[in-house]
Amino acid sequence: MNWLDPTSGELDSKRHMTHACVTALRPVGYDLIERHAPVAIPSPMPTGLSRTRRLVTAGYGIEPCDLPSFDPADPEASRVDPRRWFGEPGRRLEIEIGSGKGTLLVREAADRPLVNFLGIEQAGAFYRYAADRVRRHGLDNARLLHADAVDFLRFRCPDAIAAVVHLYFSDPWPKKRHHKRRVVQDRGLAEIHRVLTRGGELRLVTDHGDLWAWYEDHAERHRHLFERRPFRGGDGELVGTNYERKFAREGRPFFAMTLRKPG
């Protein structure tokens, strides 16, 4: 559900959100819950997530209903500066697209307390798990947003707010008819470029050969926007995700690059 997309032609009460959470924003199979109360997520749960831990997102998770309504007549006025979600909004901001269980956020936010980290996760169960995990670690410099990252960047984010955008082990959508669902697209790269500060970086890592070829093709086509450089993570970092750990154990290779916005 891309409710943030005002061009979808379906701006009804469930898609054109104001300040009320509705059942349509919850995955099928989950109870409608009050976000600011402790939550026990019932089965079915994605593999690897706790079925019994009470998940609390208050103070660390941002839901679609927490955002102001989108005004198609004045889209610029509908932009939201996520830096204001942090206690120290003037700090450097890094964004992770597809945070999963929050492994990267937890490690990087703990190692670099003077940097703010925003993770964007569309899957409700993973968003709640990651937000609760950040809360349990007491990481005041990390937040989770429950949204489609591409739509949020395009329709909500103001210009030049992020120093780094991390995109690690994104869903490769291997079938050709699904390639349009990949995060890296011509329009998507233009929006990431807009959101990055001068000298900002888009860091890409995948283990999927066809998706890597897709990245290389798009990087070549957008040389007017980005300088391609070797991948450069943080100190001691490849990416620090659960995928990295799993694939390293299996001896599977990674492909990685950094696309830098000139400036």
Say if 6 falls within a structural domain: no
Annotation marks residue 132 as catalytic: no
Mean pLDDT lowest among 13-22, 63-72, 90-99: 13-22
Residue 246 confidence (pLDDT): 60
Under 8 Å between Cβ of 125 and 46: yes
User: Which residue segment(s) compose the domain that 172 sits in?
Assistant: 23-260
Say if 10 falls within a structural domain: no
Structure tokens at 24: 């349509």
Say if 15 falls within a structural domain: no
DSSP string, 118-179: EEEE-SHHHHHHHHHHHHHTT-TTEEEEES-HHHHHHHT--SS-EEEEEEES-----SGGGG
Structure tokens at 201: 């970086």
- For 42-62, what is each residue's pLDDT tens digit? 434 555 566 667 899 999 999
- Quote the number of domains for the chain: 1
Say if 9 falls within a structural domain: no
The overall pTM is greater than 0.75: yes
- For 136-149, what is each residue's pLDDT tens digit? 999 999 999 999 99
Say if 1 falls within a structural domain: no
Name residue, tokens 């169960």.
125
Q: Which H helix or E strand runs over 209? A: helix 209-221
Question: Which CATH number goes with the domain that contains 38?
Answer: 3.40.50.150
pLDDT for 22 beyond 60? no
Say if 7 falls within a structural domain: no
**Residue type present at position 228:** R
Q: What three-state secondary structure class fits 219?
A: helix
* CA-angle at 178, arms to 173 and 179, nearest 5°: 75
The pLDDT mean for the chain works out to 81
Q: Which H helix or E strand runs over 198? A: strand 196-206
Among 31, 71, 171, 217, the active-site one is 171
Is pLDDT larger for residue 32 or for residue 140? 140
Say if 254 falls within a structural domain: yes
Burial of residue 186, with CB atoms counted within 10 A of its CB: 0-12 exposed, 13-18 middle, 19 or more buried: exposed
Say if 209 falls within a structural domain: yes
Residue 43 confidence (pLDDT): 36
Of 135, 125, 152, the C-alpha closest to 60 is 135
Over residues 199-207, mean pLDDT: 95
